[in-house]
């Protein structure tokens, strides 16, 4: 990656729109995270990056202002799993992938 891209990561997830009489349409949402450590040197740094990824994935998946219970449901869904998982694995950093795998179940 070049210098400008190594601190940016784009989260994307396919969100299905409401089914209307004209048919269903898929909508793509994305969020760019700036100043995120994509190659964390420690598990603590990876957890910090994962928390930022979590917040962005929640935003992409429609959890802005949602209560804790609603956020848990969104984290358990395919939108969050795909968005956060893709972002965590996109950099190829093992510690970030591990942070995603170990993301607290209480948060999900």
pLDDT band, very low/low/confident/very high, at 60 (cuts 50, 70, 90): confident
Find the range with the poorest average confidence among 18-27, 31-40, 47-56. Answer: 18-27
Q: If you average pLDDT over residues 8-19, what whole number do you get?
A: 43
Whole-structure pTM value? 0.73
90 within domain boundaries = yes
pLDDT band, very low/low/confident/very high, at 93 (cuts 50, 70, 90): very high
The count of structural domains within the chain is 1
Question: Are 108 and 78 contacting, i.e. CB atoms less than 8 angstroms apart?
Answer: no
106 within domain boundaries = no
39 within domain boundaries = yes
Instruction: Indicate if the pLDDT at residue 3 is higher than 50.
Output: no
**Which range of residues forms the domain containing residue 45?**
9-101
Question: Three-state SS for 99?
Answer: helix
């Amino acid at each position: 990656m070049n210098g400008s891209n190594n601190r940016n990561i784009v989260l994307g997830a396919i969100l299905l729109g409401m089914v209307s009489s004209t048919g269903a349409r898929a909508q793509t949402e994305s969020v760019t995270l700036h100043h995120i450590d994509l190659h964390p040197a420690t598990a603590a740094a990876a957890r910090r990056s994962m928390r930022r990824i979590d917040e962005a994935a929640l935003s992409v998946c429609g959890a802005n202002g949602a209560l804790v219970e609603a956020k848990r449901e969104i984290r358990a869904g395919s939108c969050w799993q795909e968005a956060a998982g893709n972002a965590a694995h996109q950099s190829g950093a093992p510690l970030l992938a591990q942070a995603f795998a170990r993301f607290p179940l209480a948060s999900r």
